[in-house]
Structure 1
Amino acid sequence: MKRGITFEIPNTYGNYLSDILEPLSALELFWSIEEQEIYTVQGDRLSDTLLFPNNTTIENNPFWERLEGSEYYIIFSDLKAYSTPTIDVASTYADFLQSNCQLVLLIADCTVVTIYCKNPHLLEVLYNQAIAKGFKNIEYITNENDARTHLSN
């Protein structure tokens, strides 16, 4: 069974979160911003301002306004998309399956993206989005190859 996908993004400034998550932009979601270091770019320099405050929840429209409003540099992130404003903690894959969390997006080491998604159709769309954006080393995460024990960085 396909659980998610993993791939690599470039280690540069950009709008990679909006590139990755574009298929979700019209959905009614609530985003849990866990621990993350995503810094905004001002002019041609990296600022010390985070794109989102840590440990907060944000509705879909303000989330997208920030993603599309400026360039940023991702060091690591832990973002979770929920179907309701009630946030169930999803720290393991089993927790994720039982929760109202619809998608987990983890980025580590500036480039390694891991996405878990409950909806098989949406997972396929996200996989094709990664291909269309030219990301590298795109692979499905399955029951057989998933070594992750916790859904966090």
Structure 2
Amino acid sequence: MHLNLFWLIGEQEIYKVQDNKLSDTPLLINNTILENEVFWNALNEGEYYVIFSDLKAYSTSNITTINTYADFLDSDCQLVLLIADSNIVTVYCKDSHLLETLYNQAAAKAFENTEYITDENDARTHLSN
């Protein structure tokens, strides 16, 4: 399945790795919007290291501010990927099949503390780092 997404690159620190060292060159530019192909080309161009990120994928070019889960549900945003401290990853996804695939991949890679976020266990008040 090919989705034509628009990626909102929020505040993030993702750096390219060059000669086995972390470079000063960011992989992505903060507060920009990238079309799907450009986004994936950037990710596929080499090794990189994620310190933190706030990435949101929209199904249309109607990019709106998302501060809360209710904002997410009412928006054209399909996926939110938040990474903190290089290893705390939170994903919000409207597509239940994609979410299940992501969950199964995390389990297969033996990621620790993998769990579904529900209304009962979600401590976040805002969808950002």
TM-score bracket, shorter-length normalisation: over 0.9
Residue 57 (structure 2) pairs with residue 81 (structure 1): yes
Identity over aligned residues, as a percent?
67
Secondary structure, in 3 states, of the residue corresponding to 2:61? coil
Residue 3 (structure 2) pairs with residue 27 (structure 1): yes
1:54 equivalent in structure 2: 30
Name the CA distance, whole Å, in 1 between partners of 2:77 and 2:41. 22
Mark the runs of 5 or more structure 1 residues left unpaired by the alignment: 1-23
Structure 2 residue aligned with 1:68, among 44, 63, 74?
Answer: 44
CA-CA distance at 1:33 after TM superposition: 0.1
Mark the runs of 5 or more structure 2 residues left unpaired by the alignment: none
2:93 equivalent in structure 1: 117
**Number of positions where the alignment pairs a residue of Structure 1 with one of Structure 2:** 129
CA-CA distance at 1:100 after TM superposition: 0.5
Structure 2 residue aligned with 1:145, among 99, 102, 121?
Answer: 121
Residue 95 (structure 2) pairs with residue 101 (structure 1): no
CA-CA distance at 1:135 after TM superposition: 2.2
CA-CA distance at 1:31 after TM superposition: 0.4
Secondary structure, in 3 states, of the residue corresponding to 1:140? coil
Q: Looking at both structures, which has the greater relative contact order when contacts are Cα pairs under 8 Å and sequence separation is at least 6?
A: 1
Structure 2 residue aligned with 1:36, among 4, 7, 12?
Answer: 12
Name the CA distance, whole Å, in 1 between partners of 2:42 and 2:112. 25
Runs ≥4 residues deviating over 4 A: none
